Amino acid sequence: MPANKWPPNGYPLPDGSTLRRAVADGINWEIISAGRDRTALIILPELYHKWVGAGLISADLFERFDVENSQFFICFGSPEHIISSVQSGPYPISAVAALAFAAALRETRKIDSIHSLQDAIYLEQASHLLPTYTETEIGDDQVVLGTWLSGGVHISTASFGRLCNLLNWMPKALVAEIIREAGFPVSGGQCLINTVEHSTELPLKRAADAATEKLIDGNTRFQLPGRPALETFFNEQVVDIIANEEKYKRMGIEFPTAVVLHGPPGCGKTFAAEKLVEFLGWPCYSIDSGSIGSSYIHATSKKIAEVFDEAIAHAPSVIMIDEMEAFLADRSMGAASGTHHMEEVAEFLRRIPEASKQHVLIIAMTNMIDAIDPAIIRRGRFDHIVEVKMPSAAEVRALLESLLSKLPVSNGIEIEPLSNRLAGRPLSDAAFVVKEAGRLAVKADQDEIDNEILFQACDALPPQKEETKKIGFTS
C-alpha cells in the first residue's frame, strides 16, 4: 500500500470504531469521522515525529496503527475536545472555545516561532496549533486568529471594529480579552479601546471576582432565617468550598457541584436561591420557559447554549434553572419524547459538567422531581437533591420584617401572631399581605400600618385548600 494512500471508508480503527468519511485533509494528515459524534486525526509518521521532536505533542497522545504496508498515527477527539483545520474549521461556537484556541496559539509560538500556522491543525487535547509544514513562508498569526474567530473569514484581529461586527454574538470586551489572550494588542483607535475597557461586560467578571475576594476575606456566613437545615447546607456545600478553594482542592474537591431544590409551589425555593445569589454577589443568569422557550425546533437548545456561554464568560457566576421539568422531563415519557426535547436534555447533559468546571454555580428548581430525566439528576451533574418544604413561621416572620422595615409602621406592631397564621402558606402570600395593608392604610387615611390593618389584609387571602381523600363517586 503506498505511503500516501489513506485507509478507506469502513476500515476498522484501533478503538473498535470504523472510519466513516474524511472531514478535511491535507498532504500528510486527515481528519475523519469515527462515528458516535467523534472525530479523529490520522497523520503520517513524518508529521508525528516532527511534532513530538518539537515538543508540540506528547508521544503517547497518538496511537500507531498499520494498514497493509503503510504506517499511520491516530488521535481520537471527543465532543469536548476540538480537532480542526485552521483553514476549513469547524470553528468555535462558544467564548470558552475561542479563549482556548487563543491560548493554544500563544503557547505554540513559545515553542515554534518560525513555521506558518496558516495550514495548522488545532488539536485541543495538545493545547497547541500543529503546523503541517506545507506553507513556505510564515503567515500573519493575527489573521490565523481572526479567521478562526470569524468562522472562516480571512480577517486580521488588527481590524478590531470589523471583527466585532462579524462577531455580533460576542461582547466587544470579550473579543478584546480573546485577542489579548493570544498575546496580541487590541488596536483600532484609542476611542475604540476605551469602549472595550469600559463596556458593561468585563466589569461583571471583575465585580464577581471582587465579591469572591470579599467573601474569602470577610469569613462571613450565609444566613437564611427559619431554614436552619437549608442554611447549613448552603454554607457547607457552597460557601465554605468557595471561601477555602485551595484547601478543598488538595482533597480533590473542586468547585461546588450543581444543586436541585424541589418542593411544592410557594415553598420558598426561589427565595432561598435568590438570597444565596445576593450573598455571593455574582452575576446571575436565568433559564426558564419565558426566557428561552421557543416553538421552533433547535431554537431552545441554541438559547440554552447561549446562556451557558454567557455565564462561563463572566464566571464566577450563577445559572438559575426555574421549572426545570419544562426542559428536563424524563425522555422516556411519551409526551416529552420528541427529537427536539431530547436535544434540549442532551444540551444540558453536556453543558452542566462543563459549566461547573468553569466556576459556574448551577441551581435548579422544580415542583416535580419525579418527572425529571434520571440522567440529569444522577451523581456527577446534580450531586445534591434538596427538598424544600412550605415556609415555617420563622421564615415568614423574617420576610415580613424585611418588607415592613421599608414602610411606616406603628410602634406596637406584632408580627408573631401574623407569622404563625401565615406559616405553611406560600411566601408570596406574606408579600401580598404587606402590599394590601399599605393599600388599606391609604384608604383609611392612616400614616402608619398597624396590627388591625395587617390582619384585615390577611383576611383578604383566600382560604387554604385542604387535602382530602375521597372514596367512591361524587355527584
pLDDT in tens, 50-72: 999 999 999 989 999 888 888 99
Interatomic CA distance for residues 19 and 32, integer angstroms: 7
Residue 467 lies in a domain: no
Same domain, 241 and 346: yes
CA atoms within 13 A on the CB side of 347: 21
Residue 464 lies in a domain: no
Residue 252 lies in a domain: yes
Which percentage of the chain shows pLDDT scores above 90? Answer: 18
Average pLDDT of the chain, as a whole number: 79
Residue 430 lies in a domain: yes
Residue 3 lies in a domain: no
- Determine the pLDDT at residue 338: 44
Q: What is the mean pLDDT of residues 388-408?
A: 85
More confident residue, 383 or 469: 383
Question: Which strands, in side-by-side order, build the sheet including 360-366?
Answer: 284-287, 317-321, 360-366, 258-262, 382-387
> Residue 76 pairs with which residues in a beta bridge?
40
Domain end position, chosen among 353, 368, 387: 387
Q: Is the pLDDT of residue 329 over 80?
A: no
In this predicted structure, which of 238-242, 322-326, 447-451 has the lowest mean pLDDT?
Answer: 322-326
Same domain, 249 and 361: yes
What is the total count of domains within the chain?
A: 4
- Determine the pLDDT at residue 154: 84
Return the C-alpha cell found at 196. 472595550
Domain end position, chosen among 387, 411, 430: 387
pLDDT-derived band at 269, boundaries 50, 70, 90 = confident
More confident residue, 373 or 387: 387
Residue 451: which domain range? 393-459
Residue 324 three-state SS: coil
Q: What is the mean pLDDT of residues 426-440?
A: 87
